[in-house]
Structure 1
């Protein structure tokens, strides 16, 4: 859903339902990953009523080269098959839950493999406690690792007359745009490239001003890419209120 769609819905809510709503700043859907392999262990020991719940776990989190929006889950040979048969769903629920919020921005984790090396479960331990211990251990591993923010890059296509091509290109350069090619279509020039989603908030208004309303553009998600250290540091400082 684009900015224009959101503004239209915002206006309709006011007109059709008489509700005053606040339209806050748009949020970019970042993701996170890790850059190195780390190991972590954890123990959950809790007694509820007369029932003891005890889980001890050792696991490894590591980056993977292939793109995967969900964690790749692996089990070492030492993990008991009997435990897996009884508790695999609880284990994997805990892993998936931990990867929904990364340690940097609270964004989903991707391109990560989790390998379970050891798991000891006391008889009678509930699946909820198993999931909680696994989730806590995964979060501990992710916090120990070197971390990376991934930002969404958009395919961008701007159709503009030749007279306004230079200011459009200069503006895209300031927005960290990566121009792939410039095509000629009749009397127009078509600029094709990539640009970070965070850099094109309100772009329709800027483009209209730059070109006296003569240009059009289209964007769609291309892929996620690692932010450079300087841009990542700026983002994290802004999110923490330091800038």
Structure 2
């Protein structure tokens, strides 16, 4: 899955349709490149495997299709998950004359191992929630997970079990159960000590030996962990792990500290929890931008 996004818009409005056609052609060639439109801002969003990947695609759009684009600031594809098991209930009840709305669910949220995704389980007994409403409960949970309650990033690695609930013969509906599940999930998730997850990259930097100290320092300054230092021919190779959010502009850094004689490769490895202080800063900025509802 993509780990970084940028917004793009054509330098001239008449190029909008041409730009979208070009981007879809590029996406057809590259399964790691995703084009989408932000529903709230109507911006075109390009998502890929890193800064260089997206820079190359924007350059190709200019070179092969003649479209110059204005590029927004890169955004890291954070995720969020809970760390504690939580259980609770929510009743969605509205009465505004005529037919009302009634949906009542009892949910259990459990964090799963990293990379496990999402699991929805039904343990409702005796028709306490009619079977035709169970898909609506799942729909409400998925809706809540798409923009998580903590930082409005997708929620991952959760098992959600609907254990009980009640319904009303007249007022219950698919919508009412979707809303009950959505609100119940959001409330319980925030009680489960949520954490922010960030993409962590494996990195290899090659350089002449005299630059090894500054290169190692540049990785550590970016919250990186050095895992090995090896000889490959006449060069030294430093390998490690580093958060993607700290790697913007790293190609310029390497060029500067090695006098143009160093190079690096970087690949997505896994998601890891963001340190609390940094996570709080990310959440604060998103609140100030009205991205968390």
TM-score interval, smaller chain: 0.7 to 0.9
Cα 1:235/1:122, change in 2 over 3 Å? same
Alignment of 1:101-180 (within 5 A): 101-123=147-169, 125-180=172-227
Tell which has more relative contact order, 1 or 2 (C-alpha 8 A, sep 6+): 1
Residue in 2 aligned with 1:56?
Answer: 104
SS of the aligned residue for 2:280 comes to helix
Residue from 173, 176, 187 that aligns with 2:234: 187
In structure 2, list runs of 5 or more residues that go unmatched.
Answer: 1-47
Instruction: Calculate the TM-score normalised by the size of structure 1.
Output: 0.86
Residue from 216, 220, 224 that aligns with 2:267: 220
Cα 1:143/1:19, change in 2 over 3 Å? same
Residue in 2 aligned with 1:26?
Answer: 74
Instruction: Calculate the TM-score normalised by the size of structure 2.
Output: 0.72
Cα 1:81/1:25, change in 2 over 3 Å? same
Cα 1:5/1:35, change in 2 over 3 Å? closer
CA contact (8 A) 1:79 1:119 kept: no
Q: How far 1:26 moved relative to its partner?
A: 0.5
In structure 1, list runs of 5 or more residues that go unmatched.
Answer: none
CA RMSD of aligned residues (A): 2.6
- Name the count of aligned residue pairs: 240
Q: How far 1:75 moved relative to its partner?
A: 3.0
Q: How far 1:18 moved relative to its partner?
A: 7.1
